[in-house]
Chain A
Amino acid sequence: MPPVAESALDVKGDFPIFARRFDGRPLVYLDSGSTSQKPKVVIDALAGHLRNHNANVHRGVYALAQEADAAYDSARSRVAAFTGAQPETTIFTKNVTEAINLVAYAWGRANVGPGDAVLITQMEHHANIVPWQVLCRERGAELRYLEVDERGELSLEQLDVELARGDVRLVAVTHVSNVLGTIVPVAEIAARARAAGAVSLVDGAQAVPHMAVDVEAIGADFYAWTGHKALGPMGIGVLHGRREILERMEPFLTGGDMISSVDFQSATWNELPYKFEAGTPPVAEAVGLGAAVEYLGRLGMDRVRAHERALTGYMLERLEDVPGLRVAGAPEAEARGGLASFTIEGMHPHDIAELADRGGVCIRAGHHCAQPLMSCLGVSATARASIGVYNEPGDVDALVDTLLAGREVFGL
């Protein structure tokens, strides 16, 4: 029997896309780890801003421009409040990739040099690997990895050993693995990094949409997340930073909006957060994200987590009904975010996903932008089903039905 917990949410009706049909079938969307679907309130906020309040920000004196300013500032305040941060240290970026590159360029180039090390983990998304590879190569520093065990967990002992070497300038970790679902003890890691004199960065892309996140409580120096996985639009990401560090940093991108004054040969920088927001920002997208976090806040992030945890438990249980299926990472829902990466003996993940689509079920297949982790798991690819707030037990049942049907197509 599907779990009907007290915490179960029933919000599919808030998301217009679920009215669509594919070959007469309803949409079964289990790819929220890639991007979330959008509730009507977000679509309306985005369109409403463009329809009624569109003007450029930070420079107009007319009433319409002031409305746009107010909308952008209010979006930032809501987004900051949602994650327990301050608006002045909440920087809008394009996505997590840009947020991490901001840190790698603006902080990294000034603070990481020959003989230094950057410490990351084997389960990072490419967005939290490649910027550090480039930085380390450029600065003559070493990139080292914390290992991931077969439960998908890190060893804090290995962290201590690495930190004790005394050369680690930065520790960058994911909050929730996009492949294994592991919930990483980021507050503990940030505290140990700080005690060892290292700066910490957390990639919260898979965490913020799915559980209550308080960046003050976590205490990392940088915390990055993205809007489009959190029911908001694509093109808007967030970087929370520690004020003292942000103030000392030089800008990342330079140009309009991020300056205080410009003469022929030099310029001075605007105050936080604008110093890090060069050029016209994605105002409507920020407004959309503001509406998204307001929506999530109304649902209550503890209820969102409880709903998704129950559903993840149900998914892990139902996947056992598929012969030859193996889930990567921890076997219990408690230890993981709302996703399961899996392989099926005799079927390539691409074929699994293609055959799932025959049943109207959207799942991801591939390396999930985590090729180093894939090599640790000894596979080149996995299939991944990931849950959003709108999913229901019936979606999991539909997934399992398509997997069983897919095995039959393959004569398994």
Chain B
Amino acid sequence: MDDLYRDYILDHYKQPRNFGELDPHDLEAMEHNPLCGDELGVHIRVKDDRIEDLRFHGHGCAISQASASIASEELIGMELEQVGKLGADWMIELLGIPVSATRRKCALLNLKVVRSAVTGDHAWPA
């Protein structure tokens, strides 16, 4: 079994959860990975200061798509305040695979776009 391309990673890549459009939505953002030019966007519906529902859209590598898919299941229902506090470690741990320095941005792109939509902060998650 490959360290990086584990079954669940490839499963999320091939059948990403919570992908598509969400209309109407309250928040949205689009960010790109400068390494490859891949773009990832998000639509978020908010209720009672929580993410009521969320959809990612865009194309990317297995790591970026699987990360977004896996993160989406945690993000739905999360308080906006908590979303703003999520850091890189949260995503890397959630992903559960050893991510090399060059692929780190692939894994973090979804969190970057969600934070951008929620807080307006365009920085890469630290």
Chain A interfacial positions (CB closer than 8 Å to B) = 347-351, 354-355, 358, 365-367, 371, 374, 380-381, 409-411
Contact = CB atoms under 8 A, between A and B. Distances in A.
B37 interface: yes
Interface stretch (B17-25, B60-68, B79-87, B110-118): B60-68
B36 A350 contact: yes
A351 B61 contact: yes
Contact of A366 (B36, B59, B63): B36
A371 B37 contact: yes
Interface of B: 2, 4-5, 10, 35-39, 59-63, 65, 103, 106
Given A350-B63, A351-B62, A381 B2 contact: no
A366 B103 contact: no
A350 B39 contact: no
A366 B37 contact: yes
27 contacts: A347-B62, A348-B60, A348-B61, A348-B62, A348-B65, A350-B61, A350-B63, A350-B103, A350-B106, A351-B61, A351-B62, A351-B63, A365-B36, A366-B35, A366-B37, A367-B36, A367-B37, A374-B37, A380-B36, A380-B37, A380-B39, A381-B36, A381-B37, A381-B38, A409-B2, A409-B5, A410-B10
A396 B37 CA distance: 27
Among B4, B5, B103, chain A packs the most CB atoms within 10 A around the CB of: B5
A357 B106 CA distance: 17
B36 to A, nearest CB: 4
A381 B106 CA distance: 13
A411 B103 CA distance: 21
A348 B37 CA distance: 12
Nearest to A382: B36
A358 B36 CA distance: 20
A349 B65 CA distance: 13
Contacts of A350: 35-36, 61-63, 103, 106
